[in-house]
């Protein structure tokens, strides 16, 4: 009789489902699970915080379409991972969290780190379960994989009591389900496709909006064909950037507000009318706007705005249906319309404003100056990770993406702290595939603080990530060193220092140096360009560039506030 442990069963079940990566922090009772995973040929990346581990695992799911695992200990370990699970669920990214828990025979007794983990995770996941026995582990793993990638992707949780980890069972009694195949591809109804094409042909001011759902479905070639066949202008959402290149002649991102406000027919490709797109409501959208909505999730159709044509299905497949019918109709939206002229004028005007801000040579630098020179040096194929307030928002407009799934940011949930976990995930994938592509993580100083110790993880695994901290001494804005010193003289800083302020000119680059990476403190354009070029030349260790900018630097004046609030 050949016996296997629960830990071995978990590892073998994951391997059978083509799970390649586990991120986590080990301790009682799941150390043996991590060791068994490595023995089974699964790569294990040890992180410094469970949230960051879950962010990393979910980013692998988004970038590959196959879930990674976040492995955590019981109680507090699992609770720390809930932020990552919620973020994955809101972003619709597949991830599996496996949590150790108290021994089954100690439930309700006040066991070490006892917590109702299965119940708690139901709020943050599509599927949450504990195998009833060792022989059920492979089946539960297969269902978790299937649940997290089928339909709308999301998070799943598997609970493993401590006494299951080392318990043994005869291998002959175990049945391993076959590997879960990719999700079945669904098509929209022909009637709705015909309706959508008719609407487009009648539109005066049409607009395509490309969401991260389009990136996840790998619809870039089909959407490129759609734009070429139709001649339509398109607007990417933050993580829809790069599905088509940001410098594509039909991209109207530089006239975003006007495009949204004046479009009379909007084609929504794998994006949701949530806060990022101002719910589809006036005054950001025309009250007479007609919606063609493409989504994998039936419940999302007509959410907030009634879809005139509701195309339920996989974005890639549905766009192919649209292209096929448009080719039969040989219809092309004219390039000389008043709508195109209006958009191009606004794009040129906004570009002039941004360029003027970028070329200011005063010190300290502003956001636009820093981003302008960063953008000049970044390779076109790099992965850009970004988080922060102004740092992320201004970076979206100035750091262009040319390839799909090359931008990762705070996403639908607006989660701060995701950046370093996302960067680690992207770098691990690039290293495994030996692509040579660089991962560049552009962080606000506040955002960096959420998961800054993950720089040790980067150094430990020799991941050549470049972190650029845009340091304005605060959340949204800070104060300069002189003002800070004057406030310190006034008394108790807990009653004097504005809540948004952080320590001026904090030396974040020294955190990276402490673990063997390269650190740079820069104040001028010349120092910034030199540090970034040196970091790009370094391919064996990570770097951190601490860019000191004007604490009062802000984004250019906007036609509408970035966060839409209801007046109801």
Do 60 and 94 fall within a single domain?
A: yes
DSSP 226-242: HHHHH---EEE-GGGTT
557 within a domain of the structure (yes/no): no
Do 265 and 410 fall within a single domain?
A: no
Do 338 and 397 fall within a single domain?
A: no
d(CA 14, CA 22): 10
Do 282 and 372 fall within a single domain?
A: no
Q: How many CB atoms lie within 10 A of CB 209?
A: 23
CATH code at position 53:
3.40.50.970
Total of domains in the chain: 3
556 within a domain of the structure (yes/no): no
Do 108 and 227 fall within a single domain?
A: no
Question: Structural domain of residue 516, as residue ranges?
Answer: 360-548
Handedness of CA 51, 57, 58, 63 (dihedral sign): positive
Q: What is the pLDDT along the chain (568 residues), one digit of tens a residue?
A: 799 999 999 999 999 999 999 999 999 999 999 999 999 999 999 999 999 999 999 999 999 999 999 999 999 999 999 999 999 999 999 999 999 999 988 888 998 899 999 999 999 999 999 999 999 999 999 999 999 999 999 999 999 999 999 999 999 999 999 999 999 999 999 999 999 999 999 999 999 999 999 999 999 999 999 999 999 999 999 999 999 999 999 999 999 999 999 999 999 999 999 999 999 999 999 999 999 999 999 999 999 999 999 999 999 999 999 999 999 988 899 999 999 999 999 999 999 999 898 988 889 999 999 999 999 999 999 999 999 989 999 999 999 999 999 999 999 999 999 999 999 999 999 999 999 999 999 999 999 999 999 999 999 999 999 999 999 999 999 999 999 999 999 999 999 999 999 999 999 999 999 999 999 999 999 999 999 999 999 999 999 999 999 999 887 666 666 677 654 4
Strands 466-471, 383-387: pairing kind = unpaired
DSSP H or E stretch at residue 36? helix 31-39
Do 408 and 493 fall within a single domain?
A: yes
- CA nearest 70: which of 90, 92, 45, 93? 45
Q: Is the peptide bond before 195 cis (omega within 30 degrees of 0)?
A: no
Q: Is the peptide bond before 508 cis (omega within 30 degrees of 0)?
A: no
Do 135 and 284 fall within a single domain?
A: no
Listed residues 292, 310, 344: the one ending a domain: 344
Beta strand residue intervals within 105-175, DSSP E = 127-129, 155-161, 168-170
Strand-pairing partners, residue 549, are 365
């Amino acid at each position: 009789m050949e016996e296997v442990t629960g830990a071995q069963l978990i590892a073998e079940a994951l391997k059978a489902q083509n799970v390649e990566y586990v991120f986590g922090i080990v301790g009682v009772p799941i150390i043996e699970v991590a060791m068994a995973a490595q023995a089974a040929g699964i790569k294990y990346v040890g992180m410094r915080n469970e949230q960051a581990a879950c962010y990393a695992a979910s980013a692998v799911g988004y970038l590959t379409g196959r879930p990674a695992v976040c492995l955590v200990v019981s109680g507090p370990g699992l609770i720390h991972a809930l932020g990552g699970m919620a973020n994955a669920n809101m972003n619709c990214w597949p991830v599996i969290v496996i949590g150790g828990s108290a021994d089954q025979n100690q439930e309700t007794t006040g066991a070490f780190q006892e917590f109702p983990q299965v119940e708690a995770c139901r709020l943050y996941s599509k599927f949450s379960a504990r195998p009833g026995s060792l022989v059920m582990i492979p089946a539960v793993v297969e269902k978790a994989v299937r649940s997290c990638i089928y339909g709308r992707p999301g998070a799943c949780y598997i609970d493993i009591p401590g006494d299951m980890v080392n318990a043994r069972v005869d291998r002959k009694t175990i049945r391993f389900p076959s590997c879960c195949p990719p999700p079945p591809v669904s098509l929209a109804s022909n009637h709705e496709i015909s309706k959508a094409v008719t609407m487009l042909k009648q539109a005066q001011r049409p607009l395509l909006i490309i969401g991260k759902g389009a990136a996840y479905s790998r619809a870039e070639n089909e959407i490129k064909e759609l734009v070429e066949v139709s001649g339509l202008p398109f607007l990417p959402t933050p993580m829809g950037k790069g599905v088509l290149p940001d410098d594509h002649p039909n991209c109207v991102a530089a006239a975003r507000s006007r495009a949204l406000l004046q479009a009379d027919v909007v084609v929504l490709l794998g994006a949701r009318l949530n806060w990022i797109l101002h719910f589809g409501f006036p005054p950001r959208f025309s009250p007479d706007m007609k919606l063609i909505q493409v989504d994998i999730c039936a419940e999302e159709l007509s959410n907030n705005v009634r879809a005139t044509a509701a195309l339920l299905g996989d974005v890639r497949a549905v766009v192919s249906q649209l292209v096929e019918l448009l080719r039969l109709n040989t219809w092309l939206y004219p390039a000389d319309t008043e709508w195109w002229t209006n958009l191009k004028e606004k794009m040129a005007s906004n570009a002039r404003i941004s360029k003027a801000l970028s070329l200011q040579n005063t010190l300290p630098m502003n956001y636009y100056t820093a981003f302008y020179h960063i953008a000049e040096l970044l390779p076109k194929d790099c992965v850009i990770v970004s988080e922060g307030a102004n740092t992320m928002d201004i970076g979206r407009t100035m750091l262009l993406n040319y390839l799909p799934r090359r931008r990762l940011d705070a996403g639908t949930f607006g989660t701060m702290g995701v950046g370093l976990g996302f960067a680690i995930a992207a770098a691990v994938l690039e290293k495994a595939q030996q692509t040579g592509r660089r991962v560049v993580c552009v962080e606000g100083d506040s955002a960096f603080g959420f998961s800054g110790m993950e720089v040790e993880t980067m150094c430990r695994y020799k991941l050549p990530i470049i972190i650029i901290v845009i340091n304005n001494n605060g959340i949204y804005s800070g104060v300069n060193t002189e003002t800070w010193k004057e406030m310190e003289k006034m008394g108790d800083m807990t009653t004097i220092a504005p809540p948004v302020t952080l320590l001026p000119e904090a030396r974040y680059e020294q955190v990276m140096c402490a673990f063997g990476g390269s650190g740079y403190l820069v104040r001028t354009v010349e120092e910034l360009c030199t540090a970034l070029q040196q970091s790009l030349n370094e391919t064996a260790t990570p770097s951190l560039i601490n860019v000191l900018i004007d604490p009062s630097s802000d984004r250019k004046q906007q036609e509408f506030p970035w966060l839409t609030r209801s007046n109801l």
